[in-house]
Structure 1
Amino acid sequence: WDILALQANLEDGLAAHAARHGTDLASLGIDTWGVDFALLDRDDTLAGLPHHYRDRRTSGMIDVAFGILPREAIFELTGVQFIDINTLYQLLAMRHANAAALASAKTLLMIPDLFNFWLSGVKTSEWTIASTTQMTDPRTRQWSRPLLDALDLPFDILPPIVEPVTVLGPLLPSVASRTGFGKATPQIIAPASHDTGSAIAAVPATTPNFGYISSGTWSLVGVEAHEPAMGAAALRYNFTNEGGIDNTYRVLKNISGLWLVQECRRSWVRNGTDWSYGDLTEHAAKAPAFRSLLDPAHPSLVAPDDMPTAIRERCAALGQPIPDEPGAFVRCALESLALAYRQTFDQLAEVRGVGIDSIHIVGGGSQN
């Protein structure tokens, strides 16, 4: 990630606000995607740019972890879905590669926590973003030292965890000066710093057993609960327990989402055909229904060099008709996602012993 460019863009936004609307800004909160992090050295300087979660360095790291602790033990300690993009496996990959950045690190900050540090000077990890790492205990809402010690991962580089809506402090004078805020001191607040945590906090639910689909590059399908789901069924179906606001938990499953469509479109644009998402939806509406279906979470679809080729190969391996035009590819992706959502809600009903009485779709994918 070009994290310095993102910080510059953030400060440009603050400067634009000050220029257009003045400096009467009460507070600022930041949320971002989960699992990725930055490492800082003893001088609080970046020890390299943060890696993208789709980097292939984590390939095989789940099996490495299972060679030290069984699956059941890791789930009992963390209650988090096993998916190789998790912070836990990124750190394990660095440990096994003897990465210099990890050896020199004095602090690990998740991406929104890094921005908060650069704005406020305060190093913390907000609970909802920390819970995406697979390194926290959902019962204590703190880092799981037993897990990290067992995997020989550093514990002392982790900052204290704070609950959502913690006031970190005023905007640093140096940032205020650069952005035109002068002596104004908007407060930097750690909201639900995981973007899905903030999205679910905003769901206009009116029933107690509502479900949600946070739809974008990823689809996060789940429920809001007052206790983590730590039983055998949650482990069997690979659910996760991520932090929420007001002492809640987001019991959910991460599904690959509209990444399949986005990457198909990227491939077609690269080859000279620039269809809009509206065009692709129209093509999909005209394609035959339920012709080709696949598991959107299959490893071959996580980071392929070419998504249409990966979908063709997966359909061929399953003995299903191979999509032959854009509408068929998009219909295959969307119908596969819809069935994955339905299956996930059925599994959630089994895990929790109660059904879903309404479903709210939030995020950019809600426009599809």
Structure 2
Amino acid sequence: MKQYLFAVDLGATSGRTIIGNFTTEGWEMEEINRFPNHLIEVNGHCYWDIYELYRNILEGLKRVSDRKDVEIISIGVDTWGVDFACIGKDGQLMRLPYSYRDSHTNGAPEKFFMRIPRQHVYNLTGIQVMNFNTLFQLDTMRRDKNSALDSAEKILFIPDALTYLLTGETVTEYTIASTGQLVNATTRQLEPELLQAIGLNTSHFGRFVYPGEKAGVLSAEVQRITGLGEIPVIAVAGHDTASAVAAIPARNRNFAYLSSGTWSLMGIETDNPIITPQTESLNYTNEGGVEGSIRFLKNICGMWLLERCRQQWGNTSYPELIAEASACEAFRSLIYPDDDRFSNPINMEQAIKDYCKDTGQPVPETRGQIVRCIFESLALRYRQVLDDLHALSPHPIETLHIIGGGSRNELLNQWTANAAGIPVVAGPSEATAIGNIMMQAIAAGKACDLFAMRQLVAQSVPLKTFQPKDKPMWEQAYAQFKHKTQI
């Protein structure tokens, strides 16, 4: 029987459970089950079905329990950021959690900044202002006299809420909490001043823990349901991007990263937060990483653009769409991916067409033109953010590491290298799961530190390097991008 670590990896559109381990020969991983993560729209609001996610986690645990060749030594959970569940005095969840894509927080930051100035909030947290940050969700719920919040004994971020369902223990993991604009970037703890402003205090949250700490063990109920024993649940880097960044196969700090999925998150790794008037005006964020690091980054609308179009196209395969895009005219139309109209439109394809029309560009007429517009615009947006990072980074940026599902998109990877003007190293595509399991391995004493684990990832995971090409053409396109998108 072989020992494995069990990772729960949940994204905004799908989730999976995975077993894996590191050996002297390299990395082993096996997917146990995969499942969709659907938004539920009820009475004008968007919710996550946390019970369905929990049911699928239990299903994954039951499947490995039935296997005679597998021994699970720990479990870790990572998810998307900012969202949370309210737990009542009786220990039950109070309503399904809101999704960050719900419209109830539109305009919420401005209302909060009437009480506490924007600059002061940024100086405390170093977090990019986005209307769906946990701080603004909670403030909106407070103003709306939300019954779930009014009755909440505890507020748990999504990975912590799932850990609670598995163990009965309430914890608040640092990396996931840092996404919500509630954590002081310097002290790396919840900020009492901001909690007080929304009628809360630290007692409303679970025990504060950092990646690698033990959260609890499987409850008696979960042991009965799954057939497993008192397996420890480790507080890994609960934010999926923090887990993914932990698995970057970098040999030194002279890199930037792009975690490419539904969202694209581009940044650098630093020892200390970068909080200046310039980073505030550019709306950069300082989120928590593993081993005391800071992920200084920018959120960019990523493959969400294409995923929403694919829903309208019958989920046509990526290879087919990429082939169509490759055959189309270059730089015919460009969009600014982070324009508000692309956040959650009813019809993404039409939103892209309307943007092009409104900015005096040719309107895309085919699927291939839409896809090419998305990919080229993303590559040029990445270049723009990378320019900022070159100026702000305390160390040189020699390489861009692309991790996550988007690292398999060779066309976009090459265009990103062309736009960025530096080598792009693509992989691993399973960075989030690898990072989750890495922290479990360190907690179990199977690995010594992050640097050693990164070297093992570099040795055992296939990587592909893309060198920049066609520099004059992409420089001209970048000028077009900045002009047409009015940035």
* Length-normalised TM-score, structure 2: 0.72
Find the aligned partners of 2:200 and 2:95 in 1 and give their Cα distance. 19
Counterpart in 2 of 1:315?
356
Cα displacement string for residues 115-166 of structure 1 (whole angstroms, at most 9, x for unaligned residues): 1112222111110100011111011111111123234455541223211110
1:279 counterpart residue number? 320
1:105 aligns with 2:146: no
Which residue number in structure 1 is paired with residue 252 of structure 2? 207
Q: Residue 386 of structure 2 corresponds to which residue in structure 1? A: 345
User: Is 1:134 matched up with 2:181?
Assistant: yes
Cα distance in 2, alignment partners of residues 324 and 314 from structure 1: 13
Residue 298 of structure 2 is matched in structure 1 by 253
Report percent identity of matched pairs: 43
Q: Is 1:194 aligned to 2:235, yes or no?
A: no
| Number of residue-to-residue matches in the alignment | 362
Name the CA distance, whole Å, in 2 between partners of 1:223 and 1:305.
34
State the shift of 1:255 in Å.
Answer: 0.5
Residue identity opposite 1:123 in structure 2: T
Q: Tell me if structure 1 keeps the 8 A contact 2:182–2:191.
A: yes
Paired position in structure 1 for 2:99: 52
Which of 259, 265, 273 aligns to 2:310? It is: 265
Are 1:224 and 2:269 an aligned pair? Answer: yes
Q: Establish whether residue 367 from structure 1 lines up as the match of residue 377 from structure 2.
A: no
Match in the other structure for 1:85: 132
- Tell me how far apart the structure 2 counterparts of residues 206 and 213 of structure 1 sit (CA, whole Å): 16
Q: Secondary structure at the match of 2:230?
A: coil
Instruction: Please give the per-residue CA displacement for 1:241-287, whole angstroms capped at 9, x wherever unaligned.
Output: 11000100100011010000000111222xxxx52111111111111
Instruction: Provide the residue aligned with 1:9 in structure 2.
Output: 56
Would you say the 8 A contact 1:91–1:153 is kept in 2? Answer: no
Structure 2 letter corresponding to 1:17: V
CA distance in 1, matches of 2:200, 2:332: 46
Which among 20, 27, 38 is matched to residue 74 of structure 2?
Answer: 27
1:216 and 1:265 map into 2 onto residues whose CA distance is 15
Deviation, 1:354, is 3.8
Distance 1:155 1:213, change over 3 A: same
Q: Offset at 1:44?
A: 1.2
Residue 329 (structure 1) aligned with residue 370 (structure 2): yes
Q: CA deviation at 1:21?
A: 3.6
Alignment of 1:117 with 2:164, yes or no, is yes
* Higher strand proportion (structure 1 or 2): 2
Aligned match of 1:161: 208
TM-score, normalisation: structure 1: 0.95
What is the rounded CA distance, in whole Å, between the counterparts of 1:31 and 1:281 in structure 2? Answer: 30
For residue 337 of structure 1, give the secondary structure of its aligned residue in structure 2: helix
Cα deviation for residue 62 of structure 1 reads: 1.4
Provide structure 1 residue ranges, at least 5 long, that are not aligned to the other structure.
Answer: none
CA distance in 2, matches of 1:267, 1:84: 27
1:296: which partner in 2?
337
User: Cα deviations across residues 327-364 of structure 1 (Å, max 9, x unaligned)?
Assistant: 11111111111111111111012222543111111111
* Alignment partners' CA distance in 2, 1:68 and 1:238: 20
Alignment equivalent of 1:185, drawn from 230, 253, 264: 230
Query: How far apart, in 2, do the equivalents of 1:355 and 1:337 lie?
Result: 23
Instruction: Calculate the aligned-residue CA RMSD, in Å.
Output: 1.4
Take 1:65 and 1:83, find their aligned partners in 2: how far apart are those partners?
Answer: 12
